[in-house]
Amino acid sequence: MTPQTVRVELAAAGGCDRSYDIRVGQGILAEIGPQLAAHKVTRAVVIADAAVVAQHARIALESLHAAGLDTLVLEVASGEGSKAAGEAARLWGDLAEAAVDRKTHIVAVGGGVVGDLAGFVAATYVRGLAVWQVPTTLVAQVDSAIGGKTGINLPAGKNLVGCFWQPRGVFSDINSLATLPKREYLSGLAEVVKYGVIRDESFFAWLEEHRQAVAAADPAALHHIILTSSRHKAEVVSQDEHETSGLRAILNYGHTFAHAFESASGYGRFLHGEAVSLGMVAAARLACRLGRIDSELVDRQNRLLAELGLPTDVDSVARELATDELLAIMRRDKKAVSGQLRFVLPTRLGHVELVDGISAADVAAVLETTGLEATG
Amino acid sequence: MTPQTVRVELAAAGGCDRSYDIRVGQGILAEIGPQLAAHKVTRAVVIADAAVVAQHARIALESLHAAGLDTLVLEVASGEGSKAAGEAARLWGDLAEAAVDRKTHIVAVGGGVVGDLAGFVAATYVRGLAVWQVPTTLVAQVDSAIGGKTGINLPAGKNLVGCFWQPRGVFSDINSLATLPKREYLSGLAEVVKYGVIRDESFFAWLEEHRQAVAAADPAALHHIILTSSRHKAEVVSQDEHETSGLRAILNYGHTFAHAFESASGYGRFLHGEAVSLGMVAAARLACRLGRIDSELVDRQNRLLAELGLPTDVDSVARELATDELLAIMRRDKKAVSGQLRFVLPTRLGHVELVDGISAADVAAVLETTGLEATG
């Protein structure tokens, strides 16, 4: 499979074209040095997840060195705990220590945690450094590395602090996924299934048909799902970069529930994608309860998630967590307005809508169901 | 004097006009409630300097209440020490605690510290809340509240972390200045003199002529200097919002030295404007040493600064601080590129240029002079 490029089209600002390319393929990590050199960059700070420093970050570094760039590596401990204000402050201090100037570019190598954290640090250091995203997990390649959302968590909730800060480019090297623990890989598939549910019925059907190759991380299947997911994400971001028209919100299908599950269970019990899978199950149930879809679609979605090894048993999760607390967290969600509950809900396979003014009673009912609709 | 309006013209982004108005006048703080109500805002969080909570913030609050807005007040301790990562984190937590959503507006009431800190918190909370600036010090009214620079300090240097985040509007109420300590008022005049030196020879002459009314904070003189300064700042920001063309850098005349004086002396010894006054003295000397201006202009600038009660004795300051440390700090300045020293230097009264590649020896010579050129 030849490497391919997906363009994220963005409106120019201050006379500068901010559009950028996502490169998808095997071995494209080695392109990063020549690419930055072509942008006349002479110094790069690689912010890397500790788990990938010895492997993927080293490939990026060697490519940068070979292209003549001066480099520095800053390591970030693996795990959601690093996406915190204290860690941002440590990195700001490290950049100051290294006398980093406005012409230095940041290269973020790792999963969603490093991409979001390094993106936020880049967005805010000396009022903005250029950043390149090098996602090394599936969830980052298909979702978080694309679109310019950066941020950190607060104890009160995920991603409550952050900026929109678009990268200069994204390098999604399929080879990076070979070292990914199975559980992390599978969790990334939740966002992939999501694109099928929200925008692409035929992609959903393709995933059903190729579920074994997808679950086994077959390279050809990977190439197809990363490329297709990147195209969907890029199209949505191009049309609603700052989440102002409401379109971009469709990407949050399943996420309002997911954030509540993650927050109430204390971050760490679920991988993000696992929480998204459970959130999609809950959201589909809610849509069904409100008469927007029938139970066949709920079952079809949940069956694919389960076949891909993703958790779908919302009932056991909901039994452990207090419904009141989940509702309180959802009211604090960034998409919430004046404490009103809003959800992205399907109307049919391949189409969703942002629905306002959903009653707490309906949400609670979905979380307190006895499990008749659950498939997991 | 009737209140007047200065427009900050900005390029639209995502179809939204981002231009905004600066209102200058006596008593215009009472306009804030009706203004926000006209923007359909229903909830505002007032972030206020502890020193002005009981007076100016209360006027703003009463105006907001009278216009039907729901409000919350968050207090910030007075002083540069509040412009820190820990304080930003505290405010983020307070906003989360209050379940602030994206439709809530922030109203920053205070001087540069609160404006920069509250602006940064607004820029980064849920990826961006609208903010209104209500500057209550002279330096904030003539400079920091206009133009969208927000940020916090790091131990390694001032304003090393921040974002560009334009306010929705600025309310510069001349009445606020009545409660300002004399020393703080005078320090604000450094930025006013700066506009004369960098862009406006006739304004400089006006300041010379009316120096007694200006030093005495006569309301008519205040109205003129705030309006004129706001116009200059607005014009420069309109032409180079993100400091990309180099034009906006002219506003940093005197500031590279000033930041070094402030940082090396541990923030707190000098008010910002006092450091800027000393920085302008040093920058003018440097320009003279490099043959860009003659010593008459150096003397004329320094005489006006001294007559307005501003410090100009760079020699005693330089004797106390290590030249090496000052140079190291200047190399870390945000405007520095690859450790090269850059300064904004006058070529004649009313005109400055950004000059690259200035040798450390020339800068050191200006700091280690025996004081022959000093007028203070």
Model confidence pLDDT, tens digit, residues A110-152: 999 999 999 999 999 999 999 999 999 999 999 999 999 999 9
| Chain segment A291-302, per-residue pLDDT in tens | 999 999 999 999
Chain A residues with CB under 8 Å of B127 CB are 149, 151, 162-164, 243, 334
| Chain segment A23-37, per-residue pLDDT in tens | 999 999 999 999 999
| Chain segment A168-225, per-residue pLDDT in tens | 999 999 999 998 999 999 999 999 999 999 999 999 999 999 999 999 999 999 999 9
> Which of A9, A18, A87, A101 best probes binding to B when mutated, by most B CB atoms within 10 angstroms?
A101
**Domains of chain A, first to last:** 4-179 (3.40.50.1970), 182-367 (1.20.1090.10)
Distance CA A143, CA A191 (A): 7
B259 among known catalytic residues:
yes
Chain B residues with CB under 8 Å of A336 CB are 101
Residues of A forming the active site? 127, 149, 191, 233, 243, 248, 252, 255, 259, 272
Residue predicted with more confidence, B302 or A245: B302
Distance CA B252, CA B343 (A): 8
Distance CA B188, CA B272 (A): 8
Cα–chain center distance at A130: 20
Residue predicted with more confidence, B44 or B1: B44
Distance CA A193, CA A85 (A): 32
Instruction: Calculate the dihedral angle through the C-alpha atoms of A276, A280, A282, A284, rounding to the nearest 10 degrees.
Output: 170
Q: Phi first, then psi: what are they for A200, rounded to 5°?
A: -155, 85
Cβ(B95)–Cβ(A157) below 8 Å:
no
Q: What pLDDT is stored for residue B167 in this prediction?
A: 98
Chain A residues with CB under 8 Å of B12 CB are none
* Residues B256-285, mean pLDDT to the nearest whole number: 92
pLDDT beyond 60 at B367: yes
The three-class DSSP label of residue A136 is coil
* Residues B274-298, mean pLDDT to the nearest whole number: 97
pLDDT beyond 80 at B14: no
Q: What pLDDT is stored for residue A375 in this prediction?
A: 42
pLDDT beyond 60 at B372: no
The three-class DSSP label of residue A205 is helix
β-strands A149-154, A157-164 pairing: antiparallel
The three-class DSSP label of residue B21 is strand
| Chain segment B235-270, per-residue pLDDT in tens | 999 999 998 888 999 999 999 999 899 889 876 789
| Chain segment B35-72, per-residue pLDDT in tens | 999 999 999 999 999 999 999 999 999 999 999 999 99
Cβ(B157)–Cβ(A96) below 8 Å:
yes
pLDDT beyond 50 at A376: no
Nearest CA in chain A to B98: A332
Q: Residue A281: which of A263, A262, A299, A261 has the closest Cα?
A: A299
Out of B272, B285, B335, B342, which one is annotated catalytic? B272
Q: What pLDDT is stored for residue A156 in this prediction?
A: 84
| Chain segment B82-119, per-residue pLDDT in tens | 999 999 999 999 999 998 999 999 999 999 999 999 99
- Which residue of B85, B96, B160 is in closest CB contact with A157? B96
- Structure token pair of residue A102: 């406005």
The three-class DSSP label of residue B5 is strand
The three-class DSSP label of residue A23 is strand
CA gyration radius for chain A? 20
Interface residue B96 vs chain A (CB under 8 A): yes
**How many CB pairs (< 8 A) connect A and B?**
117
Give the ranges where B19-111 is alpha helix by DSSP (H). Answer: 32-38, 56-66, 85-97
Q: Phi first, then psi: what are they for A112, rounded to 5°?
A: -60, -35
The three-class DSSP label of residue B126 is coil
pLDDT beyond 50 at B356: yes
Cβ(A96)–Cβ(B332) below 8 Å:
yes
A356 to each of A73, A297, A331, A339, B42, how far by Cα in Å? 45, 22, 12, 11, 18
Residue A154's pLDDT band (cuts 50, 70, 90): very high
Q: What pLDDT is stored for residue A372 in this prediction?
A: 46
Cα–chain center distance at A149: 9
Q: What is the DSSP letter of B340?
A: B
d(CA B123, nearest CA chain A) in Å:
7
> Which of A18, A69, A117, A124 best probes binding to B when mutated, by most B CB atoms within 10 angstroms?
A124
Out of A97-101, A322-326, B131-135, the most confident range is B131-135
pLDDT beyond 90 at A243: no
Alpha-carbon torsion (B286, B288, B293, B299), positive or negative: positive
* Distance separating the N- and C-terminal Cα atoms of chain A: 35
Residue B329's pLDDT band (cuts 50, 70, 90): confident
Q: What is the DSSP letter of B69?
A: -
ipTM of the complex: 0.89
The three-class DSSP label of residue A322 is coil
Distance CA B47, CA B76 (A): 7
* Residues A246-257, mean pLDDT to the nearest whole number: 93
| Chain segment B311-320, per-residue pLDDT in tens | 999 999 989 9
pLDDT beyond 60 at B178: yes
Distance CA B231, CA A63 (A): 49
pLDDT beyond 60 at B295: yes
Distance CA A120, CA A83 (A): 10
Q: How much of chain A, in percent, has pLDDT values that exceed 90?
A: 82
Answer yes or no: do B163 and A102 touch at CB < 8 A. no
Distance CA B299, CA B107 (A): 41
